[in-house]
């Protein structure tokens, strides 16, 4: 088996050079690793992060709902629009967990509304338990918006 110099390889065509590089340097594996790093991470539920107004939302449905709520806010139909309000779940003075709704706002009747954009797969047992706890602790109703 003979060895080729860099000059010998440089005289070959690009396809041949690429094949030699793959064999000599394991570029296939390196490229595969690079490709894996370049791919956006897929969500557990298949949603894609979406950026609107410089804000990154967990799903396109949530971003779309944000745009709808902003229009209602500009039209004066709702006020005090907030993203991701935290509702601590405290029992006997001990913080057990926190519930983060997607949005909260005041409607035309000045009622505070908590909303969560949900699809069927995201209605997990943990979500349902936290939702029930928050509704009982704060005497509120969380509105689920279908995605």
DSSP characters for 3-63?
---HHHHHTS-HHHHHHHHHHHH-HHHHHHHHHHHHSPPPPTTS---EEETTEEESSHHHH
Question: Distance between CA 6 and CA 20 in Å, rounded?
Answer: 11
Question: Distance between CA 113 and CA 44 in Å, rounded?
Answer: 28
Per-residue pLDDT tens digits for 46-84: 778 888 888 888 889 999 999 999 999 999 999 999 999
Mean pLDDT of 15-19: 75
Per-residue pLDDT tens digits for 96-113: 999 999 999 999 999 999
pLDDT of residue 86 exceeding 80:
yes
pLDDT of residue 1 exceeding 60:
no
pLDDT of residue 40 exceeding 70:
no
Q: Provide the percentage of residues in the chain whose pLDDT is more than 70.
A: 82
Closest CA to 65 of 48, 83, 86, 77: 83
Tell me the pLDDT of the chain averaged across its residues. 85
Cβ atoms within 10 Å of 122's Cβ, excluding its own: 19
């Amino acid at each position: 088996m003979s060895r080729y110099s860099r000059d010998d390889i440089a005289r070959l065509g690009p396809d041949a050079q690429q094949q030699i590089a793959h064999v000599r340097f394991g570029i296939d594996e390196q490229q595969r690793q690079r490709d894996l790093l370049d791919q956006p991470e897929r969500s557990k539920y298949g949603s894609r992060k979406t950026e609107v107004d410089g804000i990154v939302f967990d799903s396109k449905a949530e971003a779309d709902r944000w745009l709808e709520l902003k229009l209602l806010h500009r039209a004066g139909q709702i006020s005090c629009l907030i993203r991701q309000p935290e509702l601590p779940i405290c029992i006997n003075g001990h913080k057990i967990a926190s519930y983060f709704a997607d949005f909260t706002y005041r409607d035309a009747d000045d009622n505070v509304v908590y909303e969560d954009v949900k699809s069927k797969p995201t209605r997990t047992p943990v979500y349902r338990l936290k939702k029930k706890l928050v509704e009982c602790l704060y005497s509120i109703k969380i509105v689920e918006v279908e995605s």
